[in-house]
A and B are shown apart, each in its own frame.
Chain A
Amino acid sequence: MIQPNTVGLDGDADLAREVGLDSVQVMDMIMEIEDSLDISVPVEVLAQARTVNELRDGIKRLIGSSS
Protein backbone atom coordinates (compact mmCIF):
# COMPACT_ATOMS: atom_id res chain seq x y z
CA MET A 1 0.00 0.00 0.00
CA ILE A 2 2.82 2.42 0.90
CA GLN A 3 4.37 3.83 -2.23
CA PRO A 4 8.01 3.10 -3.19
CA ASN A 5 10.75 5.44 -1.94
CA THR A 6 8.80 6.47 1.14
CA VAL A 7 11.16 4.78 3.61
CA GLY A 8 12.78 7.49 5.70
CA LEU A 9 9.87 9.90 5.58
CA ASP A 10 9.53 11.66 8.90
CA GLY A 11 6.45 11.97 11.05
CA ASP A 12 5.41 15.18 9.36
CA ALA A 13 5.02 13.40 6.03
CA ASP A 14 1.64 14.15 4.46
CA LEU A 15 -0.32 10.89 4.16
CA ALA A 16 -1.76 11.83 0.79
CA ARG A 17 0.94 13.87 -0.94
CA GLU A 18 4.12 12.23 0.38
CA VAL A 19 3.12 8.74 1.48
CA GLY A 20 0.87 8.48 -1.58
CA LEU A 21 -2.27 7.15 0.07
CA ASP A 22 -5.71 8.01 -1.24
CA SER A 23 -8.64 8.31 1.16
CA VAL A 24 -9.67 4.68 0.69
CA GLN A 25 -6.14 3.44 1.38
CA VAL A 26 -5.95 5.55 4.54
CA MET A 27 -9.19 3.92 5.70
CA ASP A 28 -7.81 0.44 4.97
CA MET A 29 -4.66 1.24 6.94
CA ILE A 30 -6.70 2.54 9.87
CA MET A 31 -8.73 -0.67 9.95
CA GLU A 32 -5.49 -2.65 10.25
CA ILE A 33 -4.40 -0.42 13.13
CA GLU A 34 -7.82 -0.72 14.80
CA ASP A 35 -7.69 -4.51 14.69
CA SER A 36 -4.10 -4.61 15.93
CA LEU A 37 -4.77 -2.31 18.89
CA ASP A 38 -8.38 -3.42 19.49
CA ILE A 39 -9.69 0.12 19.28
CA SER A 40 -12.22 1.95 17.09
CA VAL A 41 -10.98 5.18 15.53
CA PRO A 42 -13.86 7.58 14.82
CA VAL A 43 -13.94 9.00 11.33
CA GLU A 44 -13.76 12.49 12.82
CA VAL A 45 -10.29 11.71 14.25
CA LEU A 46 -9.10 10.62 10.82
CA ALA A 47 -10.43 13.75 9.17
CA GLN A 48 -8.17 15.86 11.39
CA ALA A 49 -5.02 13.77 10.76
CA ARG A 50 -3.13 14.78 7.65
CA THR A 51 0.30 13.53 8.69
CA VAL A 52 1.75 10.41 10.27
CA ASN A 53 2.36 12.28 13.54
CA GLU A 54 -1.17 13.71 13.66
CA LEU A 55 -2.57 10.24 13.15
CA ARG A 56 -0.31 8.86 15.89
CA ASP A 57 -1.36 11.64 18.28
CA GLY A 58 -5.04 11.08 17.55
CA ILE A 59 -4.73 7.38 18.28
CA LYS A 60 -2.72 8.06 21.44
CA ARG A 61 -5.47 10.36 22.70
CA LEU A 62 -8.06 7.68 21.96
CA ILE A 63 -6.13 5.03 23.87
CA GLY A 64 -5.52 7.47 26.72
CA SER A 65 -9.18 8.40 27.00
CA SER A 66 -10.29 4.78 27.10
CA SER A 67 -7.75 3.68 29.76
Chain B
Amino acid sequence: MSLFDKFATQRALQSALADGGRVPALATPMDVIHSATSATIGGRRMVLAGTNNYLGLTFDDECRAAAIAAIESHGTGTTGSRMASGNYAGHRALEQAMADAFGWPSAIVFSTGYQANLGAISALAGADDFLMVDGDSHASIHDACKLSAATSIRFRHNDPENLDRRLARLGEDAKRTLVVVESLYSTLGDRAPLRAIVEVTKRHGAWLLVDEAHSFGAFGARGTGLCEELGLLDQVDFIVGTFSKSLGGIGGFCVGRHADLELLRLASRPYIFTASPAPAVIAATHQALRRVLRGQDLRERLMAHARRFYAEATRLGYRLGTATPGPVAALVFSEREAAQALWRGLFDAGVYTNLMVPPATPSGLSLVRISLSAAHSNDELSRIIAALAEWAPKLAAAAG
Protein backbone atom coordinates (compact mmCIF):
# COMPACT_ATOMS: atom_id res chain seq x y z
CA MET B 1 0.00 0.00 0.00
CA SER B 2 1.46 3.34 -1.07
CA LEU B 3 0.19 6.89 -1.27
CA PHE B 4 1.31 6.75 -4.90
CA ASP B 5 -0.92 3.78 -5.84
CA LYS B 6 -3.64 6.16 -6.99
CA PHE B 7 -1.35 7.64 -9.63
CA ALA B 8 -1.46 4.56 -11.87
CA THR B 9 -3.05 6.59 -14.69
CA GLN B 10 -0.38 9.27 -14.46
CA ARG B 11 2.35 6.61 -14.33
CA ALA B 12 0.99 5.02 -17.53
CA LEU B 13 0.76 8.40 -19.28
CA GLN B 14 4.28 9.33 -18.20
CA SER B 15 5.53 6.07 -19.64
CA ALA B 16 3.57 6.48 -22.88
CA LEU B 17 4.94 9.96 -23.42
CA ALA B 18 8.55 9.03 -22.63
CA ASP B 19 10.46 9.15 -25.87
CA GLY B 20 13.75 7.36 -25.38
CA GLY B 21 15.50 10.14 -23.53
CA ARG B 22 14.61 12.76 -26.14
CA VAL B 23 13.32 16.20 -25.16
CA PRO B 24 9.91 15.57 -23.56
CA ALA B 25 6.65 16.94 -24.96
CA LEU B 26 5.31 17.78 -21.51
CA ALA B 27 7.20 20.19 -19.27
CA THR B 28 9.68 20.73 -22.10
CA PRO B 29 12.89 22.20 -20.64
CA MET B 30 13.50 25.69 -22.06
CA ASP B 31 17.26 26.30 -21.88
CA VAL B 32 17.64 29.90 -23.11
CA ILE B 33 14.87 32.35 -24.06
CA HIS B 34 16.03 34.67 -26.86
CA SER B 35 12.83 36.56 -27.63
CA ALA B 36 9.05 36.24 -27.53
CA THR B 37 9.24 33.73 -30.39
CA SER B 38 12.64 32.07 -30.07
CA ALA B 39 14.37 29.82 -27.52
CA THR B 40 17.10 27.22 -27.31
CA ILE B 41 15.68 23.82 -26.39
CA GLY B 42 17.74 20.65 -26.30
CA GLY B 43 20.72 22.55 -27.70
CA ARG B 44 18.84 23.85 -30.75
CA ARG B 45 17.37 27.25 -31.53
CA MET B 46 13.61 26.82 -32.03
CA VAL B 47 10.64 28.89 -33.17
CA LEU B 48 8.19 29.15 -30.26
CA ALA B 49 4.61 28.41 -31.34
CA GLY B 50 3.19 27.24 -28.02
CA THR B 51 3.53 30.07 -25.52
CA ASN B 52 0.22 32.06 -25.33
CA ASN B 53 2.41 35.13 -25.89
CA TYR B 54 -0.19 36.52 -28.25
CA LEU B 55 1.13 40.08 -28.49
CA GLY B 56 4.79 39.24 -27.82
CA LEU B 57 5.05 41.71 -24.95
CA THR B 58 7.38 39.60 -22.76
CA PHE B 59 10.33 41.29 -24.49
CA ASP B 60 8.75 44.72 -25.03
CA ASP B 61 11.40 47.34 -24.23
CA GLU B 62 9.10 49.56 -22.15
CA CYS B 63 7.67 46.64 -20.18
CA ARG B 64 11.14 45.35 -19.32
CA ALA B 65 12.31 48.83 -18.34
CA ALA B 66 9.27 49.28 -16.09
CA ALA B 67 9.99 45.95 -14.35
CA ILE B 68 13.64 46.83 -13.78
CA ALA B 69 12.77 50.27 -12.44
CA ALA B 70 10.23 48.74 -10.04
CA ILE B 71 12.82 46.34 -8.64
CA GLU B 72 15.21 49.22 -8.10
CA SER B 73 12.59 51.35 -6.34
CA HIS B 74 10.41 48.77 -4.53
CA GLY B 75 12.49 45.60 -4.22
CA THR B 76 11.97 42.07 -5.45
CA GLY B 77 8.78 41.09 -3.63
CA THR B 78 6.05 42.33 -1.31
CA THR B 79 6.27 39.46 1.23
CA GLY B 80 2.69 40.15 2.21
CA SER B 81 -0.96 39.78 1.28
CA ARG B 82 -2.94 42.68 -0.12
CA MET B 83 -4.77 42.58 3.23
CA ALA B 84 -1.51 43.15 5.09
CA SER B 85 1.76 44.70 3.91
CA GLY B 86 1.43 43.84 0.19
CA ASN B 87 -0.94 46.63 -0.85
CA TYR B 88 1.47 48.88 -2.79
CA ALA B 89 0.61 51.96 -4.84
CA GLY B 90 1.45 50.01 -7.99
CA HIS B 91 -1.18 47.35 -7.27
CA ARG B 92 -3.83 49.98 -6.66
CA ALA B 93 -2.86 51.95 -9.77
CA LEU B 94 -3.04 48.84 -11.95
CA GLU B 95 -6.49 48.03 -10.59
CA GLN B 96 -7.68 51.56 -11.36
CA ALA B 97 -6.24 51.35 -14.87
CA MET B 98 -7.90 47.99 -15.45
CA ALA B 99 -11.27 49.26 -14.23
CA ASP B 100 -10.90 52.35 -16.42
CA ALA B 101 -10.08 50.18 -19.44
CA PHE B 102 -13.51 48.55 -19.13
CA GLY B 103 -15.29 51.69 -17.93
CA TRP B 104 -16.42 49.76 -14.83
CA PRO B 105 -16.24 50.77 -11.14
CA SER B 106 -14.16 47.94 -9.71
CA ALA B 107 -11.16 45.76 -10.51
CA ILE B 108 -9.28 43.33 -8.27
CA VAL B 109 -5.81 41.98 -9.05
CA PHE B 110 -4.97 38.38 -8.07
CA SER B 111 -1.56 36.74 -7.88
CA THR B 112 -2.24 34.31 -10.76
CA GLY B 113 -4.90 33.84 -13.40
CA TYR B 114 -5.85 30.55 -11.75
CA GLN B 115 -6.45 32.37 -8.48
CA ALA B 116 -8.50 35.04 -10.24
CA ASN B 117 -11.11 32.46 -11.22
CA LEU B 118 -10.75 30.59 -7.97
CA GLY B 119 -11.06 33.74 -5.88
CA ALA B 120 -13.77 35.57 -7.81
CA ILE B 121 -16.10 32.65 -8.54
CA SER B 122 -15.84 30.93 -5.16
CA ALA B 123 -16.59 34.17 -3.34
CA LEU B 124 -19.32 35.50 -5.64
CA ALA B 125 -21.36 32.30 -5.34
CA GLY B 126 -21.80 31.05 -1.78
CA ALA B 127 -24.12 28.74 0.15
CA ASP B 128 -27.70 28.85 -1.24
CA ASP B 129 -26.37 30.19 -4.58
CA PHE B 130 -25.82 28.27 -7.81
CA LEU B 131 -22.95 28.09 -10.26
CA MET B 132 -23.82 27.18 -13.85
CA VAL B 133 -20.59 26.51 -15.75
CA ASP B 134 -19.80 25.41 -19.29
CA GLY B 135 -18.80 21.72 -19.30
CA ASP B 136 -15.51 22.42 -21.12
CA SER B 137 -14.37 25.11 -18.70
CA HIS B 138 -10.76 25.53 -17.63
CA ALA B 139 -9.64 23.65 -14.51
CA SER B 140 -9.53 26.91 -12.56
CA ILE B 141 -13.30 27.29 -13.03
CA HIS B 142 -14.05 23.71 -12.05
CA ASP B 143 -11.78 24.08 -9.02
CA ALA B 144 -13.58 27.30 -8.10
CA CYS B 145 -16.81 25.29 -8.05
CA LYS B 146 -15.21 22.87 -5.59
CA LEU B 147 -14.04 25.70 -3.34
CA SER B 148 -17.39 27.48 -3.44
CA ALA B 149 -20.20 26.51 -1.09
CA ALA B 150 -22.67 26.98 -3.97
CA THR B 151 -24.39 24.14 -5.82
CA SER B 152 -22.53 23.63 -9.10
CA ILE B 153 -24.20 22.51 -12.32
CA ARG B 154 -22.57 22.04 -15.72
CA PHE B 155 -24.24 22.77 -19.04
CA ARG B 156 -23.27 21.46 -22.45
CA HIS B 157 -20.34 23.24 -24.02
CA ASN B 158 -21.34 26.32 -26.04
CA ASP B 159 -25.02 25.30 -25.92
CA PRO B 160 -27.28 28.24 -24.93
CA GLU B 161 -30.41 26.06 -25.27
CA ASN B 162 -29.00 23.60 -22.76
CA LEU B 163 -28.17 26.52 -20.45
CA ASP B 164 -31.71 27.82 -20.94
CA ARG B 165 -33.23 24.47 -19.85
CA ARG B 166 -31.02 24.24 -16.78
CA LEU B 167 -31.76 27.82 -15.69
CA ALA B 168 -35.48 27.20 -16.25
CA ARG B 169 -35.32 24.18 -13.90
CA LEU B 170 -33.98 26.45 -11.16
CA GLY B 171 -37.03 28.73 -11.30
CA GLU B 172 -36.63 31.70 -8.94
CA ASP B 173 -33.23 30.37 -7.87
CA ALA B 174 -31.90 31.44 -11.29
CA LYS B 175 -31.66 34.93 -9.81
CA ARG B 176 -29.08 33.55 -7.36
CA THR B 177 -27.11 31.86 -10.13
CA LEU B 178 -23.74 32.88 -11.56
CA VAL B 179 -23.28 31.64 -15.13
CA VAL B 180 -19.61 31.17 -16.04
CA VAL B 181 -18.26 30.88 -19.58
CA GLU B 182 -14.99 31.50 -21.37
CA SER B 183 -15.12 33.82 -24.38
CA LEU B 184 -12.44 31.83 -26.21
CA TYR B 185 -11.69 28.29 -25.10
CA SER B 186 -8.02 27.59 -24.64
CA THR B 187 -7.83 24.02 -25.92
CA LEU B 188 -9.79 24.08 -29.19
CA GLY B 189 -9.71 27.84 -29.75
CA ASP B 190 -13.48 27.97 -30.24
CA ARG B 191 -15.52 30.98 -29.16
CA ALA B 192 -18.59 31.06 -26.94
CA PRO B 193 -21.87 32.18 -28.53
CA LEU B 194 -21.78 35.16 -26.20
CA ARG B 195 -24.80 37.05 -27.57
CA ALA B 196 -27.06 34.03 -27.08
CA ILE B 197 -25.59 33.26 -23.65
CA VAL B 198 -26.12 36.87 -22.55
CA GLU B 199 -29.72 36.76 -23.78
CA VAL B 200 -30.52 33.50 -21.96
CA THR B 201 -28.76 34.55 -18.77
CA LYS B 202 -30.46 37.93 -18.56
CA ARG B 203 -33.89 36.49 -19.45
CA HIS B 204 -33.68 34.27 -16.37
CA GLY B 205 -32.35 37.09 -14.19
CA ALA B 206 -29.05 35.29 -13.62
CA TRP B 207 -25.56 36.82 -13.36
CA LEU B 208 -22.83 36.36 -15.97
CA LEU B 209 -19.06 36.06 -15.55
CA VAL B 210 -16.95 35.78 -18.71
CA ASP B 211 -13.36 34.54 -18.60
CA GLU B 212 -11.41 36.45 -21.27
CA ALA B 213 -8.03 34.85 -20.49
CA HIS B 214 -7.27 34.02 -24.12
CA SER B 215 -9.10 36.94 -25.76
CA PHE B 216 -7.99 39.92 -23.66
CA GLY B 217 -5.49 41.88 -25.73
CA ALA B 218 -6.45 40.12 -28.94
CA PHE B 219 -9.99 41.37 -29.59
CA GLY B 220 -11.88 44.66 -29.35
CA ALA B 221 -10.90 48.13 -30.49
CA ARG B 222 -9.25 48.77 -27.10
CA GLY B 223 -8.15 45.17 -26.78
CA THR B 224 -10.20 44.26 -23.73
CA GLY B 225 -11.68 41.18 -25.37
CA LEU B 226 -14.60 39.64 -27.17
CA CYS B 227 -17.28 41.17 -24.91
CA GLU B 228 -16.02 44.58 -25.99
CA GLU B 229 -15.83 43.53 -29.63
CA LEU B 230 -19.42 42.27 -29.55
CA GLY B 231 -20.73 45.36 -27.71
CA LEU B 232 -21.81 43.33 -24.66
CA LEU B 233 -19.99 45.17 -21.87
CA ASP B 234 -23.21 46.76 -20.63
CA GLN B 235 -24.78 43.32 -20.08
CA VAL B 236 -21.96 41.21 -18.66
CA ASP B 237 -21.56 41.43 -14.88
CA PHE B 238 -17.95 40.33 -14.35
CA ILE B 239 -14.92 39.66 -16.51
CA VAL B 240 -11.93 37.62 -15.39
CA GLY B 241 -8.62 37.65 -17.17
CA THR B 242 -4.97 36.84 -16.82
CA PHE B 243 -1.73 38.77 -17.02
CA SER B 244 0.16 35.73 -18.31
CA LYS B 245 -0.94 35.71 -21.93
CA SER B 246 -1.33 38.93 -23.95
CA LEU B 247 0.03 41.03 -21.07
CA GLY B 248 3.20 38.95 -20.85
CA GLY B 249 3.43 38.71 -17.04
CA ILE B 250 1.91 36.61 -14.27
CA GLY B 251 -1.25 37.34 -12.32
CA GLY B 252 -4.94 37.77 -12.96
CA PHE B 253 -7.83 40.15 -12.52
CA CYS B 254 -11.56 40.37 -12.06
CA VAL B 255 -13.38 43.52 -13.16
CA GLY B 256 -16.98 44.20 -12.24
CA ARG B 257 -19.84 46.31 -13.55
CA HIS B 258 -20.94 46.42 -9.90
CA ALA B 259 -19.02 48.49 -7.34
CA ASP B 260 -19.82 45.89 -4.68
CA LEU B 261 -17.20 43.63 -6.26
CA GLU B 262 -14.91 45.46 -3.80
CA LEU B 263 -16.48 43.42 -0.98
CA LEU B 264 -14.66 40.34 -2.29
CA ARG B 265 -11.44 41.72 -0.88
CA LEU B 266 -12.80 40.77 2.55
CA ALA B 267 -14.26 37.41 1.52
CA SER B 268 -12.16 35.79 -1.19
CA ARG B 269 -9.72 33.31 0.36
CA PRO B 270 -7.45 33.03 -2.72
CA TYR B 271 -7.13 36.84 -2.62
CA ILE B 272 -6.58 37.17 1.11
CA PHE B 273 -4.38 34.21 1.94
CA THR B 274 -1.53 34.69 -0.52
CA ALA B 275 1.23 37.20 -1.12
CA SER B 276 0.51 39.97 -3.60
CA PRO B 277 2.32 40.04 -6.97
CA ALA B 278 5.91 41.33 -7.02
CA PRO B 279 6.40 45.03 -7.88
CA ALA B 280 8.25 44.16 -11.10
CA VAL B 281 5.32 42.06 -12.32
CA ILE B 282 2.82 44.81 -11.49
CA ALA B 283 4.90 47.50 -13.21
CA ALA B 284 5.49 45.44 -16.36
CA THR B 285 1.81 44.47 -16.51
CA HIS B 286 0.69 48.09 -16.13
CA GLN B 287 2.98 49.08 -18.99
CA ALA B 288 1.72 46.15 -21.07
CA LEU B 289 -1.85 47.27 -20.42
CA ARG B 290 -1.03 50.71 -21.81
CA ARG B 291 0.42 49.01 -24.91
CA VAL B 292 -2.64 46.77 -25.28
CA LEU B 293 -5.02 49.71 -25.14
CA ARG B 294 -3.22 51.36 -28.08
CA GLY B 295 -2.32 48.02 -29.64
CA GLN B 296 -4.50 47.87 -32.72
CA ASP B 297 -1.34 47.37 -34.78
CA LEU B 298 -0.47 44.27 -32.77
CA ARG B 299 -4.01 42.90 -33.01
CA GLU B 300 -4.10 43.39 -36.77
CA ARG B 301 -0.78 41.60 -37.14
CA LEU B 302 -1.89 38.74 -34.86
CA MET B 303 -5.14 38.23 -36.76
CA ALA B 304 -3.36 38.40 -40.13
CA HIS B 305 -1.12 35.56 -38.90
CA ALA B 306 -4.19 33.67 -37.64
CA ARG B 307 -6.02 33.97 -40.96
CA ARG B 308 -2.94 32.83 -42.89
CA PHE B 309 -2.27 29.90 -40.55
CA TYR B 310 -5.87 28.66 -40.53
CA ALA B 311 -6.06 28.84 -44.33
CA GLU B 312 -2.78 26.96 -44.81
CA ALA B 313 -3.49 24.29 -42.19
CA THR B 314 -6.92 23.68 -43.70
CA ARG B 315 -5.43 23.48 -47.20
CA LEU B 316 -2.93 20.90 -45.93
CA GLY B 317 -5.79 18.72 -44.68
CA TYR B 318 -5.42 19.27 -40.93
CA ARG B 319 -8.53 19.18 -38.77
CA LEU B 320 -8.75 22.34 -36.65
CA GLY B 321 -10.61 22.77 -33.38
CA THR B 322 -12.64 25.59 -34.92
CA ALA B 323 -13.07 27.11 -38.38
CA THR B 324 -12.92 30.67 -37.05
CA PRO B 325 -9.32 31.99 -37.10
CA GLY B 326 -7.96 33.21 -33.79
CA PRO B 327 -4.78 33.26 -31.72
CA VAL B 328 -5.24 29.60 -30.70
CA ALA B 329 -5.03 26.94 -33.42
CA ALA B 330 -5.62 23.36 -32.30
CA LEU B 331 -4.77 20.52 -34.67
CA VAL B 332 -7.13 17.76 -33.60
CA PHE B 333 -6.56 13.99 -33.56
CA SER B 334 -8.65 11.11 -32.27
CA GLU B 335 -5.51 9.08 -31.49
CA ARG B 336 -2.87 10.25 -29.04
CA GLU B 337 -0.11 8.56 -31.04
CA ALA B 338 -0.85 10.69 -34.14
CA ALA B 339 -0.71 13.92 -32.13
CA GLN B 340 2.45 12.75 -30.42
CA ALA B 341 4.09 11.93 -33.77
CA LEU B 342 3.23 15.36 -35.19
CA TRP B 343 4.48 17.13 -32.06
CA ARG B 344 7.80 15.28 -32.37
CA GLY B 345 7.97 15.94 -36.12
CA LEU B 346 7.42 19.67 -35.65
CA PHE B 347 9.96 19.71 -32.84
CA ASP B 348 12.56 17.99 -35.01
CA ALA B 349 11.84 20.63 -37.68
CA GLY B 350 12.64 23.37 -35.14
CA VAL B 351 9.11 24.34 -34.09
CA TYR B 352 7.95 24.12 -30.47
CA THR B 353 4.21 23.56 -29.96
CA ASN B 354 1.99 22.17 -27.16
CA LEU B 355 0.93 18.53 -26.98
CA MET B 356 -2.36 18.13 -25.11
CA VAL B 357 -3.86 14.71 -24.35
CA PRO B 358 -6.84 13.34 -22.39
CA PRO B 359 -8.07 13.83 -19.70
CA ALA B 360 -6.93 17.48 -20.01
CA THR B 361 -8.78 17.81 -23.32
CA PRO B 362 -12.47 17.78 -24.28
CA SER B 363 -14.14 14.74 -25.86
CA GLY B 364 -11.09 12.50 -25.44
CA LEU B 365 -9.28 14.33 -28.26
CA SER B 366 -5.53 14.72 -28.56
CA LEU B 367 -4.21 18.05 -29.77
CA VAL B 368 -1.16 19.74 -31.13
CA ARG B 369 -1.94 23.24 -29.97
CA ILE B 370 -0.32 26.19 -31.69
CA SER B 371 -0.52 29.71 -30.33
CA LEU B 372 0.23 32.54 -32.70
CA SER B 373 1.90 35.82 -31.78
CA ALA B 374 2.04 39.29 -33.22
CA ALA B 375 5.77 38.97 -32.59
CA HIS B 376 6.11 36.10 -35.07
CA SER B 377 7.84 37.28 -38.23
CA ASN B 378 6.39 36.27 -41.57
CA ASP B 379 9.43 34.02 -42.00
CA GLU B 380 8.81 32.30 -38.67
CA LEU B 381 5.20 31.67 -39.63
CA SER B 382 6.38 30.29 -42.97
CA ARG B 383 8.70 27.92 -41.10
CA ILE B 384 5.82 26.67 -38.92
CA ILE B 385 3.62 26.11 -41.98
CA ALA B 386 6.45 24.39 -43.90
CA ALA B 387 6.94 21.95 -41.03
CA LEU B 388 3.22 21.17 -41.06
CA ALA B 389 3.35 20.67 -44.83
CA GLU B 390 6.20 18.19 -44.45
CA TRP B 391 4.19 16.14 -41.97
CA ALA B 392 0.78 16.25 -43.64
CA PRO B 393 1.44 13.37 -46.10
CA LYS B 394 3.08 11.23 -43.37
CA LEU B 395 0.05 11.60 -41.13
CA ALA B 396 -2.29 10.86 -44.02
CA ALA B 397 -0.32 7.71 -44.89
CA ALA B 398 -0.29 6.55 -41.25
CA ALA B 399 -4.06 7.07 -41.06
CA GLY B 400 -4.41 4.80 -44.08
A residues contacting B by CB (< 8 A) are 22-25, 27-28, 31, 35, 38-44, 47
Contacts and interface: CB of A to CB of B under 8 A. Distances in A.
Interface string B129-164: 000000100000010011000011110100000100
A29 to B, nearest CB: 12
Interface string B150-185: 011110100000100110011000000000000000
B42 interface: no
A22 B166 contact: no
Interface in B326-372: 358-359, 362-364
Contacts of A43: 142, 145-146, 152-154
Given A31-B135, A39-B169, A40-B169, A23 B154 contact: no
Contacts of B359: 22-24
A42 B358 contact: no
Interface of B: 9, 135, 142, 145-146, 151-154, 156, 162, 165-166, 169-170, 358-359, 362-364
Contact of B362 (A24, A38, A41, A47): A24
Given A22-B358, A24-B359, A42 B364 contact: no
Nearest to A25: B364
A40 B166 contact: yes
Given A22-B364, A31-B135, A41-B153, 7 more contacts: A23-B359, A27-B154, A28-B363, A38-B169, A39-B169, A43-B142, A43-B153
B152 A27 contact: no
Given A39-B169, A40-B166, A43-B152, A27 B135 contact: yes
A35 B363 CA distance: 18
A45 to B, nearest CB: 9
B153 A40 contact: yes
B151 A42 contact: yes
A44 B156 contact: no
Contacts of A22: 9, 358-359, 364
B121 to A, nearest CB: 13
B358 A31 contact: no
A41 B362 CA distance: 20
A31 B156 CA distance: 7
Contacts of B135: 27, 31
B147 to A, nearest CB: 12
Residue from A23, A24, A28, A39 having most chain B Cβ neighbours under 10 A:
A24
A42 B152 contact: yes
Contacts of A35: 162
B152 A44 contact: yes
B213 to A, nearest CB: 20
- The list of the 9 closest CB pairs from A to B, nearest first, reads A43-B152, A22-B359, A40-B153, A42-B151, A40-B166, A24-B359, A40-B169, A42-B153, A43-B145
Contacts of A41: 153
A39 B165 CA distance: 9
Contacts of B169: 38-40
Contacts of B146: 43, 47
B16 to A, nearest CB: 15
Contacts of B166: 40
Nearest to B361: A24
A31 B384 CA distance: 38
Nearest to B156: A31
13 contacts: A23-B359, A24-B363, A24-B364, A27-B135, A27-B154, A31-B154, A39-B169, A40-B166, A40-B170, A41-B153, A43-B145, A43-B146, A44-B152
Contact of A44 (B9, B151, B362, B364): B151
A18 to B, nearest CB: 14
A63 to B, nearest CB: 12
B128 to A, nearest CB: 13
Contacts of A38: 165, 169
Contacts of B154: 27, 31, 43
B356 to A, nearest CB: 13
Nearest to A45: B151
Contacts of B362: 24
Contacts of A44: 151-152
A46 to B, nearest CB: 9
Contacts of A31: 135, 154, 156
B275 to A, nearest CB: 30
